[in-house]
Amino acid sequence: MSSTGGTRYLTPTLSFLSDVSVAGESIPLAQPDVGPREEELVLEVLRSGILSLGPMGPRFERAFADWVGTKHAAAVSSGTAGLHLGLVRAGVGPGDEVITSPFSFISSANCALHAGADVTFADIDPVTFNIDPAALEAAITPRTKAIVPVHIFGLPCDIEAITAIAARHGLAIIEDGAEALGAVRQGRRVGTHGSPTIFAFYPNKQMTTGEGGIITTDDDAVYEDILSLRNQGRADSGAWLEHDRLGWNYRMDDLSAAVGLGQVERLDSLLAARTAAAERYNALLADAEGVQLPAVVPGDTRSWFVYTVLLDAGVDRNAVIGRLAERGIASKPYLPAIHLQPLYRARGHREGEFPICEGVSARALALPFFGKITVDQQERIVRELLAVLAVPPLLASARA
């Protein structure tokens, strides 16, 4: 605990996200921003004695839906749970295929397996890193039932093109907006384009509930079904312990919802702080050799989840990560290609299937990024990164 102006509040960190533990010197990869308001709301729940299925959940859901601009929001235990429920609600099951991006966190694909379906991948755009609509359409088969487009790293995907493809082929869309809360696609926020959209609240996201996620929709029927499915298939009649369908315990507890409500109340400032931090990185790295900055798409607004650069081909990324760690700076490869994860190799996937994804995945490096990162910290990170990149042994050609 720490104190400021007589008010005691929590100052958590994601200690496991840092590769080092040099007191006063290490910079973690991510860090949540929670404070007195979140603590106040958590205490309100604790003192009420109603820790789940109480009034705090609906308060959070209403505030979130209002902020995004949708009619409904249904909180769940994780973003993965939200994706799973979205596919189940769309009727996806054994024998079906779900198309998604191979460049994402693994849950974007695993949700199809949870629903009993098979996963089909489509390669990504080399600039935005989002799924390529042409590759997506080419991957459609008679067994395709749904598409899970991912707004990767908070940059909106081409949802208009994807929606048109889905309409032509009669496919459902469940948008994975886990990394894109606050992102704007051609004037409209992600989550308002007509498909159920999930957001996730792990502590490295733009806002957090600890663990948790939420599904937004304007469709009353989708909303009512999700409410039932997340609560063990509870009957619409509302009768206690009456269940009329197979469901899951994917509820969000009121303590998590309390943190979420506090976060939504100051979401504008949380997003602004992350944008400012990203803009500082852009300025500091503008003339850096060997580093490609995140893409900018005219008309779109990225919501900054991570700050990921591409290193030049031939640079030993693992050596860069190791040397940064020696200097007290955490960094990670972001993201490993899903189809090359052990689970998906065991299902028959191999190198060479999705060359654009594989090329980006091999070069991507996430730098420390969070709303409260300081100018001094960012200057140090960039200074150390450029020093590390200047060392010839990091080049694959120099080792040959």
Q: Is the pLDDT of residue 109 over 50?
A: yes
User: What is residue 11's predicted lDDT score, i.e. its pLDDT?
Assistant: 36
Q: How far, in whole angstroms, is CA 205 from its chain's centroid?
A: 7
Contacts for 230 with CB less than 8 Å, ≥ 6 apart:
74, 76, 77, 81, 85, 247, 248, 249, 250, 251
User: What is residue 25's predicted lDDT score, i.e. its pLDDT?
Assistant: 82
Q: How far, in whole angstroms, is CA 307 from its chain's centroid?
A: 13
Record the tokens describing residue 166, joined without a space.
Answer: 């889905």
Q: Which residues are registered as beta bridge partners of 75?
A: 214
Q: Which of 102, 87, 9, 10 is nearest to 356 (CA)?
A: 102
Contact 298, 380 (CB under 8 A): no
Average pLDDT score over residue span 240-248: 89
Classify residue 296: in a domain, yes or no.
Answer: yes
Classify residue 323: in a domain, yes or no.
Answer: yes
Record the tokens describing residue 165, joined without a space.
Answer: 């493809």
Average pLDDT score over residue span 54-64: 98
Count of structural domains, the chain: 2
Distance of alpha carbon 300 from alpha carbon 189, whole angstroms = 10
The residue ranking higher by pLDDT, 376 or 242, is 376
Classify residue 9: in a domain, yes or no.
Answer: no
User: What is residue 16's predicted lDDT score, i.e. its pLDDT?
Assistant: 31
- Domain co-membership, 131 together with 244: yes
pTM value is 0.91
User: What is residue 240's predicted lDDT score, i.e. its pLDDT?
Assistant: 75
What CATH number is associated with residue 315?
A: 3.90.1150.10
User: What is residue 4's predicted lDDT score, i.e. its pLDDT?
Assistant: 35
- Domain co-membership, 122 together with 246: yes
Contacts for 376 with CB less than 8 Å, ≥ 6 apart:
none
- Domain co-membership, 289 together with 317: yes
Chosen domain end from 197, 232, 265: 265
DSSP β-ladder status, 175-176 and 172-173:
unpaired
User: What is residue 396's predicted lDDT score, i.e. its pLDDT?
Assistant: 54
- Percent pLDDT > 90 in the chain is 88
Work out the mean pLDDT of the chain and round it to a whole number: 92
Phi first, then psi, for residue 34 (nearest 5°) are -125, 150
